[in-house]
């Protein structure tokens, strides 16, 4: 099983990276950009085959390590690996 985790800054939390990218894109001549936010994307391969258990486990990983709930939100998607 593969878990795909997105960790993003909570709305309202300053995102200096996103701001800088936005700036740079408009310097490059791209127009009509309303805003850019940057987050992390983490892919985890798991031996667990039970989806509910896997989800609970990844949820726990997010809480314990992958995100800091002070400033970040996370979301989890599960995906069966081909051939597993």
Partner 1 sequence: MIMDGVTQIPDKTAKNEITPEMVAEHGLTTEEYERIVAALGRAPNITELGIYSVMWSEHCSYKSSKVHLKTLPTEAPWVICGPGENAGIIDIGDNQAIIFKMESHNHPSYIEPYQGAATGVGGILRDVFTMGARPIANMNALRFGAPDHPKTKHLVSGVVAGIGGYGNCVGVPTVGGETSFDASYNGNILVNAMTVGLADKDNIFYSAAAGIGNPVIYVGSKTGRDGIHGATMASAEFTEDSEAKRPTVQVGDPFTEKLLIEACLELMASDAIIAIQDMGAAGLTSSSVEMASKGGVGFDLDLDKVPQREEGMTPYEMCLSESQERMLMVLKPGREDFAKGIFEKWGLDFAIIGKITDTGRLTITWRGEIAGDMPIASLVDDAPVYERPFVAGVKQALLKAGDIPAPDDYGDALMKLIGGANLSSRRWVWEQYDHMVMADTVARPGGDAAVVRIHGSEKGLAMSTDCTPRYCLADAHEGGKQAVAETWRNITAVGAKPLAITDCLNFGNPEKPEIMGQFAEAVAGMGEACRALDYPVVSGNVSLYNETNGTAILPTPAIGGVGVMASIRRMATVPFKRYGDVIILIGESKGHLGASIYLQEVLGRKTPEELGAPPPVDLAAERRNGDFVRPLIEEGLVDTCHDLSDGGLIVALAEMAMASKAGGIGAEIDAGFISPSLAVPLHGILFGEDQGRYLIAVTEEIAADILRRAEAENVPAVQIGATGGDALVIRHEGTEAVKLSVSDMTSAHESWLPTYMSG
Partner 2 sequence: MKSAVIVFPASNCDRDIAVALEKITGTKPHMVWHGDSDLPQVDFIALPGGFSYGDYLRSGAMAARSPIVAEVMRRASAGVSVFGICNGFQVLTEAGLLPGALMRNAGLKFICRDVKLRVENAGTRFTNAYAQDQIITLPVAHHDGNYFADEGTLKALEDNGQVVFRYVDENGEASETGNPNGSQHNIAGIINANGNVLGMMPHPERLIEAELGGSDGRALFDSVLNALESA
Which of 33, 29, 55 shows the shortest CA–CA distance to 44?
55
Phi and psi of 54, rounded to 5°? -60, -45
Q: Which of 47, 52, 70, 84 binds partner 2 (CB under 8 A)?
A: 70
Establish if 45 lies at the interface with a second copy (CB under 8 A): yes
Q: Which of 1, 8, 15, 58 binds partner 1 (CB under 8 A)?
A: 15
Tally of CB atoms within 10 A around 10: 11
Would you tell me which residues interact with a second copy (CB under 8 A)? Answer: 6-8, 18, 21, 24-25, 28, 30-48, 57, 60-61, 64-66
């Amino acid at each position: 099983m593969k878990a795909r985790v997105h960790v993003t800054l909570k709305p309202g939390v300053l995102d200096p990276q996103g701001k800088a990218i936005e700036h740079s894109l408009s310097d490059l001549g791209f127009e009509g950009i309303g805003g850019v936010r940057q987050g992390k994307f983490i892919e985890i391969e798991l031996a667990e085959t039970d989806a509910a258990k896997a989800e609970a486990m990844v949820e726990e990983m997010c809480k314990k390590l992958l995100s800091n709930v002070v400033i970040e939100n996370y979301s989890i998607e599960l995906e069966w690996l081909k051939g597993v």
